[in-house]
Amino acid sequence: MPDAATPALVAVTNANPSTPSAAPLPTSGDSALVPYQGPEGSPGDSIVTPATDRIANYLVQPGDTLSEIAATYGVSVNTIIWANGLANARDVHPGDNLIILPVSGVEHTVRAGDTLASLAKRYGADQGEIASYNGLSAGAALAAGSTIIIPGGELAAAPAKASVSKRAGSGRVAVGAEPYLGGSGAAENGYWTNPVPGGLIWQGIHGWNAVDIAAPQGTPIRAAAAGVVTVARSNGAWNGGYGNYVVISHANGTQTLYAHMTHAIVASGQEVNAGQVIGYVGETGKATGPHLHFEVRGAANPFRNCALKSACSPE
């Protein structure tokens, strides 16, 4: 059974607490999912449409760092480096206009002879995910000159090394490994509420300062603290493995991320209260079994000391 020492790249099979008798997710006219509870305690009668997945532009402000910008948009640092032709993670300056892809990966302009299979091999990505993310059929022919996004793709010029170097005359830049976000932050004991009360801690600290909390599909996911929704993705796309997810920025300078949702019911820019339902437990993206992947960026994860398979309260 996995524990906190399990390598981040090893797939973890989460328990499936769902039962055949579980109540179905509520819908409106058998077409749209709605919140379990509205303002009056009855099933919600309105839907908040999450932000669309589009390429964004960001104007760098004084004091910004690339890791902070990447965390805000829920993509990797290398994704921004590759999309903007930056030399390294420090090559950002106030006034720079950065292109931000909607998912971790790379953007590719199709050339004659390109196929989904060849692009998957070139960028170390999954052919099915490329097709799905770009709305293509599995065997679709690619039009030369069109632009597609390769979710999870990587450029060969960015091996995971600890140094930054440039080979003279080659124009190829080796970029350092992704930073481990959130792991060195201070403990904010008493600041957090449980995003899935009653859920079981199924994997300890892994990835970007995250734990996995297993719960039946459709279980409400609640904001761990009051804040403003920075990212809300609920389009069913891969999204770098997160699937449908939400990022909330909090007043203490931290962010929390809630991944693998069936769908989100909040939108980018919306203010939320601690304990407010923001979505529902699912297994979208890179998930095996319904669970919440809960990250804390900028502070210690409040579930870091919880025993596996326990219904633990945050510190």
pLDDT, tens digit (0-9, with 9 covering 90-100), for 43-74: 333 333 333 456 777 777 777 888 888 877 77
Angle between helices 66-73 and 77-84 (to 10 degrees): 100
CATH assignment at residue 196? 2.70.70.10
Q: How confident is the model at residue 21 (pLDDT cuts 50, 70, 90)?
A: very low
Whole-number pLDDT of residue 75: 82
The three state secondary structure string of 96-151 is: CEEEECCCCEEEEECCCCCCHHHHHHHHCCCHHHHHHHCCCCCCCCCCCCCEEEEE
Q: Under DSSP, is residue 275 helix (H, G, I), strand (E, B) or coil? A: coil
Q: Are residues 109 and 199 in the same domain?
A: no
CA distance 231 to 264: 10
Cross-strand pairs, 244:
261
Whole-number pLDDT of residue 237: 66
* Predicted TM-score of the model (pTM): 0.52
Question: Is residue 19 in a domain?
Answer: no
113 is in which domain, residue-wise?
A: 56-158
State pLDDT tens for residues 211-241.
Answer: 999 999 999 999 999 998 877 888 776 766 7
Q: Are residues 105 and 209 in the same domain?
A: no
Q: How confident is the model at residue 313 (pLDDT cuts 50, 70, 90)?
A: very high
CA atoms within 13 A on the CB side of 245: 30
What are the Cα distances from residue 167, in Å, to 123, 174, 176?
21, 9, 15
Q: Are residues 269 and 241 in the same domain?
A: yes
Can you tell me the mean pLDDT for 119-139?
85
Q: Are residues 292 and 218 in the same domain?
A: yes
Is the pLDDT confidence value at 9 over 60?
no
Question: Is residue 7 in a domain?
Answer: no
State pLDDT tens for residues 147-199.
Answer: 888 888 888 653 333 333 333 333 332 323 333 334 556 788 899 999 999 99
Q: Under DSSP, is residue 70 helix (H, G, I), strand (E, B) or coil? A: helix
Q: Are residues 190 and 269 in the same domain?
A: yes
Can you tell me the mean pLDDT for 18-22?
39
Can you tell me the mean pLDDT for 285-307?
89
